[in-house]
Homo-oligomer: A and B are copies of this chain.
Amino acid sequence: MGNDAIDDVITALRNASLRGAETVRVSSTDITISIGRVLVEEGFLGNLREHRQGTNRFLVLTLKYQGRTRKARITTCRRVSKPGLRIYSGYKDIPEVLGGIGTAILSTPGGIMTDREARQKRIGGEVLCYVW
């Protein structure tokens, strides 16, 4: 399930957003690409692109900042399910993050998706992380 890759992207985004970095580079795997795509669709990230340098592949994620004070669109990210303690949720019990303000990202049989999409499609899965 590529857990180090998930930690990689969550920690990188949290730190980049605290620092005010324009972009952040993470390892390119199926799971980081899927998480990145969901974050772009949800408006948390500007875009993602894949770079190849010889045999190395990596992802470049562009962060979003808004307003005259350049507020980071991602306030923080938090890992939920961990290699030592997996958190799964049936679709009826999928958590709302901060009463719907934040977003949970789940790994489901239908792919990586948000809590809202999983609830709509009535599929549960592993709760990877919270973003708000």
Contacts and interface: CB of A to CB of B under 8 A. Distances in A.
Interface of A: 38, 41-43, 64, 66-69, 71, 73, 75, 98-103, 113-114, 116-117, 120, 132
B116 A71 contact: yes
Nearest to A71: B116
Given A75-B100, A75-B101, A117 B67 contact: yes
A69 B64 CA distance: 20
Contacts of A42: 66-67, 71
B75 A114 contact: no
Nearest to A115: B69
18 contacts: A41-B66, A42-B66, A42-B71, A43-B43, A43-B64, A43-B67, A43-B73, A67-B114, A68-B114, A68-B117, A69-B114, A69-B117, A71-B103, A71-B116, A75-B99, A98-B101, A101-B101, A101-B132
Given A67-B103, A75-B101, 17 more contacts: A38-B67, A41-B66, A42-B71, A43-B43, A43-B64, A43-B66, A43-B67, A67-B116, A67-B117, A69-B114, A69-B120, A71-B116, A75-B99, A98-B98, A98-B101, A101-B102, A101-B132
